[in-house]
Amino acid sequence: MQIKNPTLKPYGENRVTFNVFALSVLLFICFTVSATAEIKKIVAFGDSLTAGYGLPQKDAFPVQLEAALRDRGFEIKIENAGVSGDTSTGGLQRLDWAVANGADAVILELGANDALRGIEPEITRENLDQIITKLKAKDIPVFLTGMRAPPNMGAAYAEEFDSLFPTLADKHDVTFYPFFLEGVAAIPSLNQDDAIHPNREGVALIVENMLPSLIEFLKNPK
């Protein structure tokens, strides 16, 4: 008498199940690797905080960030598309030019000058909204960095301005880093004499603080 094990499936069915499983694993590995490997060039798109105002170019944010990423095994080029004094309006106007040579991802850092000039937050929000929309239409993942209004603008302005960045991140489902100057703003030893722009050490801390979020973004760009 032949005793059948009810948990065993015919050989052919087991082989099909194994092949499907193996294919799923292979596709997952390929997708994970390609998602990381496809980002070779990042455009850092912003104002003087990106451009490196008051610093030698070797100390600017894009250069220090590129070096930090390469130290961690990422062969990525960071292109400096920062313009000192730029507002969100100026950024929107020059966006197509800034990414004309191609970009696998964009770090979007704009809004500080809007707040310093007291520009209505709704204008800033609309400009950034259009920038992100245009980048997404080009299939360029966005790493959005937030900014905070200076205290002298008042509580009502600060609340409206500060909240526009997470609101846009939620709307467009993009990676969001809450405050570009985290740990650096208002600390004299980390800023230049104008008390606005970070010095070399300040930029290094910005990079150090941002790096974990950016690496996660590179592994899983939205």
| Strand blocks (E) in the chain | 41-46, 77-82, 105-109, 142-145, 175-177
The fraction of the chain above a pLDDT of 70, given in percent, is: 83
User: Helix, strand, or coil here: 147?
Assistant: coil
- Amino acid symbol at 222: K
Give the per-residue pLDDT at 31: 41
Q: 201 falls in which pLDDT band (50, 70, 90)?
A: very high
Residue 198 in domain: yes
pLDDT in tens, 176-199: 999 999 999 999 999 999 999 999
Q: What's the rounded mean pLDDT across residues 29-49?
A: 73
- What does the pLDDT look like over 88-126, one tens digit per residue? 999 999 999 999 999 999 999 999 999 999 999 999 999
Q: CA-CA distance, 58 to 157, in Å (whole number)?
A: 36
pLDDT band at 27 (very low <50, low <70, confident <90, very high): very low
Tokens of 19: 């092949």
- 81, 86, 39, 91: which is closest to 60 by C-alpha? 81
Number of domains in the chain: 1
Inside any domain, residue 208: yes
Question: 92: Cβ–Cβ under 8 A, 6 or more apart, which residues?
Answer: 127, 130, 131
Give domain status of residue 179, yes or no: yes
Query: Which residue segment(s) compose the domain that 117 sits in?
Result: 40-219
On the question of pLDDT at 81 being above 70, the answer is yes
Confidence (pTM): 0.84
pLDDT digits (tens, 9 = 90+) for 150-169: 999 999 999 999 999 999 99
Residue 24 lies in a domain: no
Looking at the domain assignment, is residue 215 inside a domain? yes
Question: Does 9 map to a domain?
Answer: no
**Residues with active-site annotation:** 48, 194, 197
- Of 100, 166, 88, 83, nearest to 128 by C-alpha is 88
State mean pLDDT over 135-147. 98
- What is the DSSP secondary structure assignment for residue 220, as one 8-state letter? S
CATH of the domain at 69: 3.40.50.1110
Confidence of residue 38 (pLDDT cuts 50, 70, 90): confident
In this model, does residue 171 exceed pLDDT 50?
yes
Q: How far apart are CA 124 and CA 167, in angstroms?
A: 12
Quick one: tokens of 62? Answer: 């894009």
